[in-house]
């Protein structure tokens, strides 16, 4: 890893753009090193990636780690005493925290999960909600302790500044798929108000740990073009260092929503796409202006026996005693060490915690390296002017059995 350098503020350099105009490659400089973009931010929710040590993350080319403000809120003062998240975690590289708004809001809405084949939406009933939103912030009940708590923009900024990541996210109201247009209008105005309050508080306290901490504004607006474009224009005039692109929407809307936002936001500032990492999502995100992405899926799915390969995902439960290598074309430490599908399945199904933990590490390293390598190859192929051919070849092979709609 490069020796750390201190930067007065985040800087973003664009090296080359796609002909379409929104996708680009470049680099983000932070107080704890540089992120080559586009990049995948590995999720270490509580300041660590489950079952994967920090040396292994650096070994597989991880560029940055994202942690969660909500889950670290009680530890924030201690993290500050230890010099911030990079030191506390042992990662010692670029870091980002989200505001915790997703977790807090999910206690109130259930986030409108799709629960049936006819795409009906379920929303938590009012009496069962653990979170209640007002213009001041969110009153919520911790589902594990039963304690009553409150987080608003100022509280979120104080928590995140104590945690001390290089990049923070403004506090926002995440709506659900079940929320209608009128409610999304309310939430959008509230998010814009919270953005101003987040920015003001953050600018007051951002350098408290001795290095510059940066703030991204977060865009909401649901699935509606007029709301997305309108709020992008409003937040684009504010003094944010970059922008987070979030919200609850259906997968097929991703490209349109990113395009609406990024056609209005300042082109010269970096954009982060929250919570997606499927290969088709990566390509759509990159082409429509996302410079960094994060998602828990690579490690979470690895722990459940779902492994990524160039020829699509495989499920280890089907490979008892299989002598085939996990992925002959993979350069991750797991594959280079010669682990077979059958061996990994045996570890996964083992009754011993030690062997299960070894499986979780080996499979997580593989899935993370697979995801990180896509970003590396995107950068390489943009520079060689072969991006379109690379994307077509990758997706046609990965989704050969699913007939990816992107290639129709």
Beta-carbon contacts of 401 under 8 Å, excluding residues fewer than 6 positions away, are 312
List the catalytic residue out of 98, 241, 280, 291.
Answer: 98
- Residue 139 bears catalytic tag: no
List the catalytic residue out of 33, 166, 281, 294.
Answer: 294
The pair of three-digit structure tokens given for residue 261, joined into one six-digit string: 């936002």
- Residue 166 bears catalytic tag: no
Catalytic positions are 98, 294
């Amino acid at each position: 890893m490069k020796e750390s350098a201190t930067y007065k503020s985040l800087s973003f350099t664009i090296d080359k753009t796609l002909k379409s105009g929104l996708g680009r490659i470049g680099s983000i400089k932070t107080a704890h090193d540089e992120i080559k973009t586009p990049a995948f931010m590995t999720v270490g929710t509580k300041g660590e990636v489950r079952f994967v040590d920090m040396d292994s993350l650096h070994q597989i080319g991880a560029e940055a780690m994202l942690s969660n403000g909500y889950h670290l809120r009680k530890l924030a003062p201690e993290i500050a005493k230890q010099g911030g998240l990079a030191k506390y975690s042992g990662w010692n590289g670029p870091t980002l925290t989200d505001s915790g708004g997703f977790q807090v809001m999910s206690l109130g809405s259930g986030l409108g999960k799709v629960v049936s084949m006819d795409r009906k939406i379920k929303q938590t009933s009012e009496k069962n909600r653990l979170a209640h939103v007002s213009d001041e912030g969110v009153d919520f009940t911790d589902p594990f302790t039963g304690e009553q708590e409150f987080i608003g923009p100022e509280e979120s900024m104080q928590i995140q500044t104590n945690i001390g990541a290089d990049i923070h996210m403004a506090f926002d109201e995440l709506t659900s798929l079940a929320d209608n247009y009128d409610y999304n209008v309310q939430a959008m105005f509230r998010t814009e108000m919270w953005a101003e309050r987040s920015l003001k508080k953050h600018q007051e306290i951002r350098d408290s740990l001795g290095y510059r901490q940066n703030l991204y504004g977060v865009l909401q607006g649901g699935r509606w073009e007029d709301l997305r474009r309108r709020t992008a224009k409003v937040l684009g005039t504010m003094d944010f260092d970059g922008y987070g692109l979030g919200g609850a929407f259906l997968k097929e809307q991703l490209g349109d929503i990113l395009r609406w936002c990024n056609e209005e936001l300042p082109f010269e500032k970096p954009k982060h796409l929250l919570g997606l990492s499927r290969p088709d999502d990566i390509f759509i995100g990159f082409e429509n202006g996302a410079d960094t992405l994060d998602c828990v899926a690579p490690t979470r799915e690895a722990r459940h026996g779902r492994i990524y390969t160039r020829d699509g995902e495989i499920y280890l439960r089907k490979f008892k005693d299989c002598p085939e290598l996990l992925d002959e074309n993979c350069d991750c430490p797991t594959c280079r060490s010669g682990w077979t599908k059958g061996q990994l399945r045996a570890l996964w199904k083992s009754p011993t915690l030690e062997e299960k933990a070894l499986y979780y590490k080996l499979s997580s390293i593989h899935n993370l390296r697979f995801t990180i390598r896509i970003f590396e190859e995107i950068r390489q192929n943009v520079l060689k002017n072969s991006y379109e051919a690379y994307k077509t070849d990758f997706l046609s092979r990965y989704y050969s059995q699913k007939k990816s709609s992107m290639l129709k």
